[in-house]
Amino acid sequence: MSMKSKSMQTPLGRVRGLGSARKGVGHWWTQRLTAMGMIPLVIYLIIGLLTNIGADHAAAMAWLGSPFNATAALLLFGVGFYHASLGLQVIIEDYVSNENRRLLMLVAVKLGMTGLAALSLFSVLSIAFA
């Protein structure tokens, strides 16, 4: 008996590339794409922070208030909080065995990340439109 015949996956599942939850590959790809999307945004943020070392409050506000920099910050916060939410979801699903506790933690993470993202986006927009 070969190793292939011991697979717990159905033939249809193997053809479609779906795991037991039927969405694992899509979740994995989304996490990788958000990570790749954050690379240039984080590099840009680091360069922006390094160029503003020693600047006063007005200069920093002017830098973040420019349309390009504000858009980059909005994208970084949006993608960053979404990526963090995906990562925490995987950790919770893998390591919390109690179903009720797992559901409660997933809801708390989603609400918390959404709230922090909204607060961050509001802060950047209030600076950009001030």
What's the CATH number for 33-128?
1.20.1300.10
Instruction: Tally the C-alpha atoms within 13 A of residue 13's C-alpha that lie toward its C-beta.
Output: 12
User: What pLDDT, on a 0 to 100 scale, did the predictor assign at position 24?
Assistant: 74
- Rounded Cα distance between 71 and 95, Å, is 36
Dump the DSSP string for 70-85: HHHHHHHHHHHHHHHH
Dump the DSSP string for 37-52: HHHHHHHHHHHHHHHT
| pLDDT tens digit sequence for 85-126 | 999 999 999 999 999 999 999 999 999 999 999 999 999 999
Per-domain residue ranges of the chain: 33-128
DSSP 129: T
User: What pLDDT, on a 0 to 100 scale, did the predictor assign at position 22?
Assistant: 60
